[in-house]
Structure 1
Amino acid sequence: MPEENDTAVVSQRLSSCSSSTEILSFLSTVRGPWGFIYYQKAGDCLWFGRDFLGRRSLLWKFDAEVKALTLTSVGAHCAGPAASAWQEVPAAGVYRIDLKAVSDAGCVTFEVYPWAHGENGPSYSCTQAILESVPSGCTAVINRSGLALTSPVCPLNTSIPESFNQEEMHPNAHPCDLEQLPAGRERGEAVKRLIGVLSEAVRRRVQALPSQGNSDPSDDNARIAILFSGGIDSMILATLAERHIPAHQPIDLLNVAFQLQEPRKQKESAKKKHKEKPTEWRTGGTESLTSSPFDVPDRITGRAGLKELQQLNPERRWNFVEINVTKEELQETRRERISHLVHPLDTVLDDSIGCAVWFAARGAGLIAGDGDQEPFTSSAKVVLTGIGADEQLAGYSRHRVRFKTSGHQGLVQELAMELARIPSRNLGRDDRVIGDHGKEARFPYLDEDVVSYLNSLPAWEKADLSLPRGVGEKLLLRLAARQLGLGQSAVLPKRAMQFGSRIAKMEDHRERASDRCTRLLTE
């Protein structure tokens, strides 16, 4: 319903429900990201919750002194005893509070309606996640009626052929180039279907846009932006988005880079000898020296990806926005804004990705003009992000480690764990961070139909970790990229955003991703 306000539509439907069963039945049919708080006047009840994958932020806290429960999408971080009061509402079901009972009893009890896969009922881990994470001073009980929401995605296919159990494949036993890899009829059909379902997911997200009122139809500002590194996930999103966006509209490719640290001081004589030359910066790994402190790995692959897109679609205007962040700007903005948006998450990884996504989504940088670069700020209100591809298609190095130690059985278990924890990992954080700019994060790889299709496939059709890096992980997606006409980007190995943008190298190099980040603490 592109011409209608989705909040108004959902509110009207909820208002027409006369029982808990009807409310749950309706919420089970809603697709896409949602987080809601709804007062049901008829029963004097408060309902709230998040979608199955937790794509929208919702926080809660309970103040024991005044006996008040607060629900919000963003909660500012503060120093002192209340610093850790905010928690993310688990995306494990919806919650109902009988306000009259609360008033009579003087305590807050949540009645929980968990997600369930068809007739299987809610999982034990799902139920435990809810019961263990309620705010201090509150209690939670699973509803006595046994009612539950129906999951919008099908269960994960955990089957493993006996041949794989008997003889695991070994690394480097296969061709290391996608062109040499025979897709086979079965996998070829899977590639075709993946492109179809993912293309439809992108179409929904680039065509259902906020109304611009009486805007000029000839306005050539981009309405869609993509968090863009030039890696396979963002390249496929850009390629598919191009299919569904009017030809006259540009697409903004948001590429963020954090200033590289100056190399160690050279000897005085060497400085004098080369004083006329520009400073050289190391990007790390095997990348070459560069004359710009912002030529980080993601900037280099981003430019290469831009060239691929321009060759595939030369008529499209691609705004490659180079977003350059200095250490001083990072520290100031983190202190004043980003720390509050990332909260209540508090790890080094949350800090790195939260900051990188905030600056990228702001969209303020430089684009190529007539000769020189010129300042540019993206006006797009919808930002596509590639979250979800690695989790579902075995894109992380930990998947390769698990496969090496435990074979396909271990890989299937790892993918099941990945899927189960997607709602509690980073989607709420990214929703808060991107939403701070008045923009909306959209996640095509986490479209319910995409997740269901990938869940229906056995693990060995989605990835073959006996193949080398850049081929075996996310194999199905790489084959799809080749079919879409992409080149070198189809075989780029995974590089995490915090490393590709070089934010992880900007401050304390000795930290681990899971460490608590002291930089997120406000004074």
Structure 2
Amino acid sequence: MCGICCVVTLCSQHTIHDFLNKDLLYLLRRRGPDSSQQLIKTASDLSYECLFSGHVLHLRGLATPQPLEDANSNIFLWNGEIFSGVPVGDLENDTEVMFRHLTLCSSEADILSLFSSLRGPWSFIYYQASRHSVWFGRDYFGRRSLLWQFSNEVDSAFCLTSVRFYSKSSNQWQEVPACGIFKIDLKACAATKSLSLTLFPWKYSCTEKAAEDIFINVLDQVSKDFPKHITLVMNESNLCLKAPVIPLNKTISEASDECPGTNISKISHMVSVETLQGFLAEEHKKKIVHRLIDILGEAVKKRVLCLFRDEDQKTREVPSMTNRKAYVAVLFSGGIDSMVIAALADRHVPLGEPIDLLNVAFMIEEQAKQKGASKKQANWEVQPDLLCPRESCKDLDTKTGAHLSCAVPDRITGRAGLKELEAINPSRTWNFVEINVTLEELKKMRQQCINHLIYPLDTVLDDSIGCAIWFASRGEGFINNQGELTPYKSPAKVVLTGIGADEQLAGYSRHRVCFRKYGLEGLNKEIEVELDRISSRNLGRDDRIIGDHGKEARFPFLDEDVVSFLNSLPISEKADLSLPRGIGEKLILRLAAKELGLTASTILPKRAVQFGSRIAKLESNSEKASDTCSRLKLFSVENL
């Protein structure tokens, strides 16, 4: 994880320091606390100037400050992880490896071939000195944040950055679309005193027949939000990046279209763990499930082992009891996604190393909670409550005298999930980190920093999810130490998250609505759209949020091999929305969880973090998720 920034000016009246102020540097340094430095490149004869600012979180190989510069004046900023595609040795740093490969590229096609081969999340900025060009972009899914801003027509300036503070006076910032790689010819732009960007888009197949229509659609989509004085053009050679995943299989068999859910006859609405066993009795189904476990397990393995550890843990030896430290954490609700990720992490994290389970609850008044509780509460919510006595989840609001409760749904299912994991591996130290947030602290931290990280997104949903993830990934809370809750702050620099499971496996309620209205064909189209928009809806925001703590978000469900495997399956193998909630959505993942030894968590219905953590109940109940959130339009960080 790194904070990267580049400022380009084509006009001497506008200095680069007008962009790179102390607010921006503050946010960038929080992302990269291990190293910070800047480099200025001036081409006086061509009238352009570039500033490169790099802020590094050291996670692998030798510590490598950024930006990197070689003897030929090429400059590189990298915020990413290479998990495969380009060889990176155990003691090598992937930033240096990427830079070395880039400097060997002799053509545009070489650069595109290099980035097409990468597997893992990334955003980058590369100054190619010999051609006076700046290249930049994000990976296929947009798992790393990158924002851009264009100045007005007179100033001819341009800025790229991982994160940006919100300011009413500044021009609008936008996320760089994860639709390809961009290039700016600084020599040509300096001559015309205007900015022109060239796009090299992602495609499944770079055939000329299909290229023209796709290029036009991508250009229209990206340029519609551009200022009028900025030009976006397709590269003249129609070059493209090869997508790292295969297209979605939209095959619908007659059997699945006519009679979905006939694998198990007359499944009742009160499903049980035993219900899943009937599916696993099918040899074909069981084979697919085990293939998912293998591929997803490999994705988790790369993400938990690809980081720097102390010497004794490099050799996989069990460290001493007094020196045990968690290097990996999981955003943990006890739901199916986080349970599977935790169970697979347990297979690959060294046994003597704890795993932190980060569980967030927003504390609400006990009376209000009881009043709003449903009388028709499902059994799966009531039973785990026995594992979480209300008395252990209460606090007193010193200002109002009201009793505050943290016995929210995600805390209850989280504690139940902890017991399942302890049953699978009682030798592992599972640090269940109870992170309790009051309304007062929520308002304070949103004003100080969270609003800047969510920006340029601005909806009520962005606020709820962003705030929940920020407090969870910070990792400050309590753990149970021999029966007593003691303060704890997670030292883990890698945070695993289950995002991507719902999008690919029909986990959202909107998927059921779509299925009821349009059948499997409509459901396929909706799932296809989900991954296309995940970069703009979720991933840039989540990367900025988690990165603010000097931690790196890693997304096993968005591993390229995992996505390609799931894309290869027809929808009938992944989900069956004719079945009840808690089994039909993400069916293949529930079956995998059953095979991994999980129990009650395998049939928990989907519950969004804003509801499971109860943040949605803490402030205004009258808002819609898509409304612009006035609470995000607050202050800069200049006084921090």
Q: TM-score range by the shorter chain?
A: over 0.9
What residue identity is the alignment partner of 1:347? T
What residue identity is the alignment partner of 2:298? E
Candidates 94, 100, 103, aligned match of 2:181: 94
Aligned twin of 2:284: 186
What residue identity is the alignment partner of 1:296? V
Distance 1:110 1:79, change over 3 A: same
Displacement, 1:128?
A: 3.2
Q: Residue 63 in 1 paired to residue 161 in 2?
A: no
Aligned twin of 1:51: 139
Displacement, 1:168?
A: 5.5
Displacement, 1:105?
A: 1.0
Residue deviations 1:163-198 (CA, integer Å, cap 9, x gap) = 344456699943544523333222211101000000
Distance 1:281 1:177, change over 3 A: closer
Displacement, 1:46?
A: 0.3
The answer to whether the 8 Å contact 2:504/2:531 transfers is yes
Residue deviations 1:258-285 (CA, integer Å, cap 9, x gap) = 0113425xxxxxxxxxxxxxxx856834
The answer to whether the 8 Å contact 2:468/2:610 transfers is yes
Displacement, 1:53?
A: 0.3
Q: Which secondary structure does the structure 1 equivalent of 2:365 belong to?
A: coil
Q: How far apart, CA to CA, are the structure 2 residues paired with 1:351 and 1:9?
A: 37
Q: How far apart, CA to CA, are the structure 2 residues paired with 1:226 and 1:169?
A: 33
Q: Within 5 Å, which residues of 2 pair with 1:137-176?
A: 137-166=229-258, 173-174=266-267, 176=271
What residue identity is the alignment partner of 2:248? L
Aligned twin of 1:27: 115
Aligned twin of 1:440: 552
Candidates 104, 114, 123, aligned match of 1:16: 104
The answer to whether the 8 Å contact 2:206/2:240 transfers is no
Aligned twin of 2:222: 130
Displacement, 1:214?
A: 9.7
Q: Within 5 Å, which residues of 2 pair with 1:302-321?
A: 302-321=414-433
Candidates 355, 374, 395, aligned match of 1:251: 355
Displacement, 1:56?
A: 0.1
Aligned twin of 1:261: 365
What residue identity is the alignment partner of 1:55? R
Q: Which secondary structure does the structure 2 equivalent of 1:263 belong to?
A: helix
Candidates 97, 100, 104, aligned match of 2:191: 104
Displacement, 1:505?
A: 0.5
Candidates 185, 195, 202, aligned match of 2:300: 202
User: TM-score with structure 2 length normalisation?
Assistant: 0.76
Residue deviations 1:433-489 (CA, integer Å, cap 9, x gap) = 100100000000000000000000000100001100000000000000000110000
Moved more, 435-444 or 120-129: 120-129
Distance 1:470 1:126, change over 3 A: farther
Distance 1:168 1:371, change over 3 A: closer
Displacement, 1:422?
A: 1.4
Moved more, 47-56 or 290-299: 290-299
Distance 1:129 1:172, change over 3 A: farther
Q: How far apart, CA to CA, are the structure 2 residues paired with 1:304 and 1:283?
A: 23
Aligned twin of 1:341: 453
Q: How far apart, CA to CA, are the structure 2 residues paired with 1:128 and 1:324?
A: 45
Q: How far apart, CA to CA, are the structure 2 residues paired with 1:509 and 1:517?
A: 13
What residue identity is the alignment partner of 2:445? T
Unaligned runs of 5+ in 1: 265-279
Aligned twin of 1:220: 324
Q: How far apart, CA to CA, are the structure 2 residues paired with 1:185 and 1:237?
A: 25
What residue identity is the alignment partner of 1:162? E
Moved more, 63-72 or 286-295: 286-295
The answer to whether the 8 Å contact 1:168/1:407 transfers is no
What residue identity is the alignment partner of 1:194? L
Q: Within 5 Å, which residues of 2 pair with 1:353-364?
A: 353-364=465-476
Residue deviations 1:87-133 (CA, integer Å, cap 9, x gap) = 00000000000000000111111100000002455536544332324
Q: How far apart, CA to CA, are the structure 2 residues paired with 1:432 and 1:306?
A: 28
Q: Which secondary structure does the structure 1 equivalent of 2:581 belong to?
A: coil
What residue identity is the alignment partner of 2:133? C
What residue identity is the alignment partner of 2:254? E
Q: How far apart, CA to CA, are the structure 2 residues paired with 1:295 and 1:56?
A: 34
Q: How far apart, CA to CA, are the structure 2 residues paired with 1:245 and 1:50?
A: 29
Aligned twin of 2:203: 116
Q: Which runs of 4 or more aligned residues in structure 1 lie more than 6 Å from their structure 2 counterparts after TM superposition?
A: 213-216
Q: How far apart, CA to CA, are the structure 2 residues paired with 1:452 and 1:137?
A: 39
Residue deviations 1:375-417 (CA, integer Å, cap 9, x gap) = 0000000000000000000000111111111111111111111
Q: How far apart, CA to CA, are the structure 1 residues paired with 2:538 and 2:554?
A: 13
Aligned twin of 2:20: none
Aligned twin of 1:277: none
Q: How far apart, CA to CA, are the structure 2 residues paired with 1:518 and 1:377?
A: 31
Aligned twin of 2:338: 234
The answer to whether the 8 Å contact 1:115/1:148 transfers is yes
Q: Residue 79 in 1 paired to residue 156 in 2?
A: no
Q: How far apart, CA to CA, are the structure 2 residues paired with 1:448 and 1:424?
A: 18
Residue deviations 1:201-229 (CA, integer Å, cap 9, x gap) = 00000000135589996431100000000
Aligned twin of 1:383: 495
What residue identity is the alignment partner of 1:128? D
Distance 1:136 1:492, change over 3 A: farther
Moved more, 290-299 or 510-519: 290-299
Q: How far apart, CA to CA, are the structure 2 residues paired with 1:255 and 1:16?
A: 46
Aligned twin of 1:269: none
Q: How far apart, CA to CA, are the structure 2 residues paired with 1:519 and 1:42?
A: 47
Residue deviations 1:52-109 (CA, integer Å, cap 9, x gap) = 00000000001115221000000110123x2x61100000000000000000111111
Candidates 111, 115, 124, aligned match of 1:36: 124
Instruction: Point out which structure has higher relative CO (alpha carbons under 8 A, 6+ apart).
Output: 1
User: TM-score with structure 1 length normalisation?
Assistant: 0.93
Q: Which secondary structure does the structure 2 equivalent of 1:28 belong to?
A: helix
Q: How far apart, CA to CA, are the structure 2 residues paired with 1:173 and 1:341?
A: 48
The answer to whether the 8 Å contact 1:159/1:458 transfers is yes
Aligned twin of 1:482: 594
Candidates 410, 413, 418, aligned match of 1:301: 413
The answer to whether the 8 Å contact 2:219/2:233 transfers is no
Q: Which secondary structure does the structure 1 equivalent of 2:124 belong to?
A: strand
Q: How far apart, CA to CA, are the structure 1 residues paired with 2:567 and 2:372?
A: 37
Q: How far apart, CA to CA, are the structure 2 residues paired with 1:372 and 1:126?
A: 56
Q: How far apart, CA to CA, are the structure 1 residues paired with 2:133 and 2:499?
A: 35
Q: Residue 4 in 1 paired to residue 92 in 2?
A: yes
Q: How far apart, CA to CA, are the structure 1 residues paired with 2:616 and 2:557?
A: 25
Q: How far apart, CA to CA, are the structure 2 residues paired with 1:89 and 1:419?
A: 16
Q: Within 5 Å, which residues of 2 pair with 1:510-521?
A: 510-521=622-633
